[in-house]
Amino acid sequence: MEKLQHIVQTTPLCSRCSHEFASVTGGPDLAALARSAYVPTTEFDRGSLQLGLANLEGGLSECEAEVTRVEEAARLLRLQKASLEETIADVKALLAPIRWMPPEVLGQIAAYTLPPRWFLDYIGGSVWSFSQVCHYWREITFGLCWAWQDFRVPYTAEGRQGEYLLELVDSYIQRSGQRPLRVGAFVRRPRETWEDIDGRVWQAIWANADRLKSLRFVRSIAADLRYPILPALTHLVVHGEPNAVLGTALPDNGRVPKLEALGFIEATIPTSSSFDWSVLRKLEVQNIMPRNIHVLTLCSNLAHLKLCFYARLHPSRVLGFGLLHFPSLETLCTASGAILLCPIIRAPRLACIELDVTYPGYQNDQRGGKHFVMDEEHLIGVYPHLLQDILKPVKRLILRNMWRYSVDTIYGIMSMANGLRDFRFIHEVTPITWNHPLHRELAEKLVFDVSRPTLTCLESVLIFNQFGLKGNFARLEYDLVRTIWQSRQSPLCSPLSSFQVLLPEVEGSDYPVVDILKFWESIEATRE
């Protein structure tokens, strides 16, 4: 074997001195020989290789030791770097202008950082980032009592159990100060069985019964827990549950002297009760059953009524219920089949009516729940009979989820409200394949025609589309709205003061538009 060549490699370890690490490695001829069929047969060749191997292994050990020292030095440097960065951040925090802001201003800033679903999610389900910045800011958020007075408690089936849930409830109640409490305890998804909340949680809530202003819960709780005296309670909502055999319990009026709003969501209305219904100013019934309609006759002082009717009834059967008189009713909301009750409702002071052709499941459509839409065919030909009397005094009309309905039906309903001033067209369920933010056929109907004047009192229009669109037709929509606006400058009708198009889910376009009319008014002002 020929004498192999070796290469000396040197790595400087310090830029300020001559400290370095040197080692001997094999050259290209060694690599080529190792990959060949060569076999060292003589003792000299084998001895030379073994001696070289011992030197190489010694060099490797020294190299590993140097690497360990360098890595340790690098680790210490990284720790020192992190310490420097933390120190710099602390100094900058001390010098930050926001530190000199008074607590009142910080409180206002904290309010704007509140998570959007803070009052919708279960207790502890949202993280308030402002409270995570520092201890002082955390105390600021704790001092905003209004942020802690409204919370929802999940059932144990939803995953928050025992001591943690009790601790959360106690914390919210303490941070709310002495402000009125609004508490909810229910689930949003149907289940075969629902577990009750830990009794200690209810003890903590009932201990503050004098502060409870609003309460929402599942009816089984009312069966298991006796209502305490609730002197401040004004709103009570009872939710039903699957496979329930218990009736809905209502408190005696003496225990809820200030109760003025009552709701039944998938819950049975008590058919016999000593409860005085005449004290109510607001009533909401989701899935009202025919046998419960007589209860409405007892609610003589209602100002707000919301009804959702799932069952299909022939209009002739509705007439058998008799007239429903509401002398103080100002707002009426009907969903799905509840529109069939409109002919028997007498409300001379009615100013606002909302017609929704859907009825929801346990959740809203965006989170997996279902909405069932009443087909337009159920209204064609009968809506004049259903609505002609009740729409006469109406000043505000809200049509919800009628986007797929024909313009003849929609505009026909609008036209029956002779004194209509405020019109709102809202779509918030089941995404649609619509290319325009406006219902163009409907919008074109809003152009005032002096030869056939209609909707002469209309002053405000709002169109709300929850879902995104295909394409961007901003210019086209602006022109149409401008035509509507200009046509309603006629002395034969009231001028439009607002035309809003709200599209919360649209990104990367000219929408959402807060108020298109303000856009055109600013242009006209500059031209003048």
Contacts of 37 (CB under 8 A, 6+ apart): none
> For residue 476, is it within any domain?
no
Burial (CB < 10 A; 0-12, 13-18, 19+), residue 218, is: buried
pLDDT band at 305 (very low <50, low <70, confident <90, very high): very high
Average pLDDT over residues 372-378: 71
Q: What is the pLDDT of residue 26?
A: 73
> For residue 413, is it within any domain?
no
Burial (CB < 10 A; 0-12, 13-18, 19+), residue 527, is: exposed
Q: Identify how many contiguous H helices and E strands the chain contains and give both numbers.
A: 13, 19
> For residue 184, is it within any domain?
no
Structure confidence by residue, pLDDT tens digits, 118-135: 998 888 888 999 999 888
Of the chain, the percentage scoring pLDDT greater than 70 comes to 78
Q: What is the pLDDT of residue 172?
A: 94
Q: Flag whether pLDDT at 508 surpasses 90.
A: no
Q: Flag whether pLDDT at 395 surpasses 60.
A: yes
> For residue 411, is it within any domain?
no
- The gap between the terminal CA atoms of the chain, to the nearest Å, is 102
Average pLDDT over residues 418-422: 92
> For residue 55, is it within any domain?
yes
> For residue 366, is it within any domain?
no
Q: If you average pLDDT over every residue of the chain, what do you get?
A: 79
Query: What are the angstrom distances between the C-alpha of 483 and each of 144, 246, 435, 455, 516?
Result: 47, 58, 20, 16, 12
Contacts of 68 (CB under 8 A, 6+ apart): none
Average pLDDT over residues 320-345: 87
Q: What is the pLDDT of residue 113?
A: 92
Q: Flag whether pLDDT at 51 surpasses 80.
A: no
Q: Flag whether pLDDT at 431 surpasses 60.
A: no
**Count of structural domains within the chain:** 1
> For residue 67, is it within any domain?
yes
H or E segment at 141? Answer: helix 135-142
pLDDT band at 471 (very low <50, low <70, confident <90, very high): very low
Q: What is the pLDDT of residue 512?
A: 42
pLDDT band at 511 (very low <50, low <70, confident <90, very high): very low
Whose CA is closest to 312, among 375, 235, 365, 257?
375
Structural domain span for residue 84? 6-95
Contact between residue 302 and residue 281 where contact means Cβ atoms under 8 Å apart:
yes
Q: What is the pLDDT of residue 469?
A: 56
Structure confidence by residue, pLDDT tens digits, 341-371: 888 899 999 999 999 888 655 444 333 444 5
Q: What is the pLDDT of residue 335?
A: 85
Average pLDDT over residues 316-338: 82
> For residue 89, is it within any domain?
yes
pTM: 0.72
pLDDT band at 157 (very low <50, low <70, confident <90, very high): very low
